[in-house]
Amino acid sequence: MNTPQQLLDRLDAIGLSLQHSGHALALLGLGSVGIERDRLDVYSDLDFFAVVEAGFKPQYLDSLDWLSAIAPIAYQFRNTVDGFKVLFDDGIFCEFAVFEPAELRAIPFAQGRIVWQHPAFDAALAQPEWVAPQATAPAAEWLVGEALTNLYVGLGRYRRGEKLSALRFIQQYAVDHVLALAARLEQATAAHPDRFVVERRYEQRFPGMAAQLPTMLQGYDRSCASALAILEFLERYFAVNPAMAQTIRTLLPEPSQG
């Protein structure tokens, strides 16, 4: 494991490498190496944007010499058209993208920290301009209804022998709706929310709700027990249609059969 300081030092080294590369404009640290450094720990990786001059993006993507010059790369994988996931041979893991300035105005990202910048770089670009359309939070009734019908379909798949599909419907789709209900039951803590991924830091943000998740996520052969736990949770905190609840229970095996 690498210490937080080693991770920050590597990010600084990447900034210096970009500075000497000829056509880079800035390095933006994101996430735990961005403006949320209070949550940086030995399990963190380096998330960053390299911003380069217009017309030079392919050069920085086609060759990662600007990274391998810092330390040998053990593994690299181009996971998007804009960037890579990279593992240095000393165990530091990076996920990054390369953008030209005009592109930053049109993509969603959390606010970044400028690690290095060329004098010609417009620092305002580190502030995301793209704003997602304001979404209306789903009503609790809708979330409960979706969760119940996910349980019903999933248990039918389980009884048919489709255990993988059952797991998805019960322990993924239904649980996703349960997660969305958490804010109706528990005040979120001050832990950093992730605007793109609800499960990030969920245990820190909703500790009471998180404590109930093990019974809802019991694994491949325990979808029925997981479904019962989800149903009982919904009945405990929300209005559940009795006919639908009873129908779901008719699909459940005896407790000893899981």
Identify the bridge partners of residue 51 per DSSP, sorted by sequence position. 26, 99
Query: Do the Cβ atoms of 217 and 199 come closer than 8 Å?
Result: no
Q: What is the pLDDT of residue 246?
A: 93
What pLDDT score was predicted for residue 26? 96
Residue 154 φ/ψ region, left for φ over 0, alpha for ψ in the -120 to 50 degree band, beta for the rest: alpha
Distance CA 11, CA 33 (A): 8
In the chain, at which residue ranges do the beta strands (DSSP E only) sit?
A: 24-30, 46-52, 73-77, 83-88, 93-99, 113-117
Amino acid at 98: V
| Residue 133: predicted pLDDT | 56
Which residues of the chain fall short of a pLDDT of 70? 129-136, 188-199, 254-258
What pLDDT, on a 0 to 100 scale, did the predictor assign at position 50?
A: 97
For 180, residues 6+ apart whose C-beta sits below 8 A from its C-beta are: 138, 143, 198
Which pLDDT score, from 0 to 100, does residue 174 have?
96
| pLDDT given for residue 130 in this prediction | 58
What is the model's pLDDT at position 258?
46
Provide CATH code, domain 4-126: 3.30.460.10
